[in-house]
Chain A
């Protein structure tokens, strides 16, 4: 992970993150507050890992991914 990426963990919203990435603070004035206030969690999940995995699923994998598959209880008839 690069230094720039580490900066993302210190920001909770898009506006703060853009500023931490070196964008001028005035950039937030150019965007509606609902956009600058966007939660960064999905974006960080995108960069850090989305839980789509191939191969045999590993039931013992304790890693919690933001978008992991929810396996359903199954009735077989």
Chain B
């Protein structure tokens, strides 16, 4: 729906595990502008309450869509949750851009759809920017145990954001903690970013499998769901949304399988939805 390539700013640096110094409660202008544009013509007081009420927008999402060159998060977990919320917000906005909404805007009542598309584009840009950021972890304030560290790095990896493993291994002893054992060093080093967009594979004329490669998937306690035309991967509340091929909307999702290096979702053709000539 938005064909323009996102403008990437590769210079973002994110520090995790330090006290926040930036005022994160200042909403960027385009966010407040969008809501004003959307709300006023409809005459509703808060039409986005259901969409946004559960999103933790003051906990870092605004930071991610700001134009700051350097951001600070209290922990890796908090950064992962913020990226997840930003992704959720984008999905919610994509759903708002329904046919009915477009028709209503097309009646000449307002420019809400332009605002909606602008916001979605800005979020796309922010997601690209944060996924290309240099993430540095500091253990002076936030001192997780090795397992909690691996879990949070895995959550961050699910959102598509990578950490520099060498930097983490170097920063750990400086925090005064017990040295990382070879086991935990190996676990930290084996965390891989979930980069795949997924592939639809025909198993038979009636059965298809959507495969997402993610090294180490089997070591996680991931949940898998479907939301309209998106696959939802949920790891302890941190979510990644992957767009499914259009054909999946005419099929019924049956079950998911998690193996060592992949997540597979079985689909069955629903002939009622997809009559063949």
Whether the pair B226, A47 counts as a contact (CB closer than 8 A) is no
Whether the pair B51, A14 counts as a contact (CB closer than 8 A) is no
**Distance from B60 Cβ to chain A, minimum over Cβ atoms (Å):** 11
Does B85 sit within 8 A of A, measured CB to CB? yes
Chain A residues with Cβ below 8 Å from B224 are 71-72, 74
CA distance A47 to B236 in the complex (A): 28
Interface of chain A, helix or strand or loop or mixed? loop
Number of interface residues of A (CB under 8 A): 35
**Distance from B127 Cβ to chain A, minimum over Cβ atoms (Å):** 15
Chain A residues with Cβ below 8 Å from B227 are 51-52, 67-70
Number of A-B contacts (CB under 8 A): 120
Whether the pair A71, B223 counts as a contact (CB closer than 8 A) is yes
Contact of A52 among B43, B51, B255 (CB under 8 A): B51
Q: A50-B96, A67-B227, A71-B224 are in contact. Are A43 and B101 (CB under 8 A)?
A: yes
Kindly report which residue of chain A lies nearest to residue B264, judged by CB atoms: A75
**Distance from B26 Cβ to chain A, minimum over Cβ atoms (Å):** 21
Chain A residues with Cβ below 8 Å from B44 are 1-2, 4-5, 47
CA distance A48 to B51 in the complex (A): 8
Chain A residues with Cβ below 8 Å from B58 are none
Kindly report which residue of chain A lies nearest to residue B256, judged by CB atoms: A72
Does A24 sit within 8 A of B, measured CB to CB? no
* 14 contacts across the A-B interface (CB closer than 8 A): A38-B103, A46-B51, A52-B92, A53-B55, A54-B88, A56-B237, A67-B228, A68-B227, A69-B225, A69-B226, A71-B223, A72-B254, A74-B224, A74-B255
Seen from chain A, the residues whose Cβ lies within 8 Å of a Cβ on chain B are: 1-2, 4-5, 14, 21, 35, 38, 40, 42-43, 46-57, 65, 67-77
* Sample of 14 more A-B contacts, CB < 8 Å, known A43-B100, A54-B81: A1-B44, A5-B44, A46-B98, A46-B100, A46-B101, A50-B50, A50-B92, A52-B92, A54-B55, A54-B85, A74-B224, A74-B257, A76-B257, A77-B257
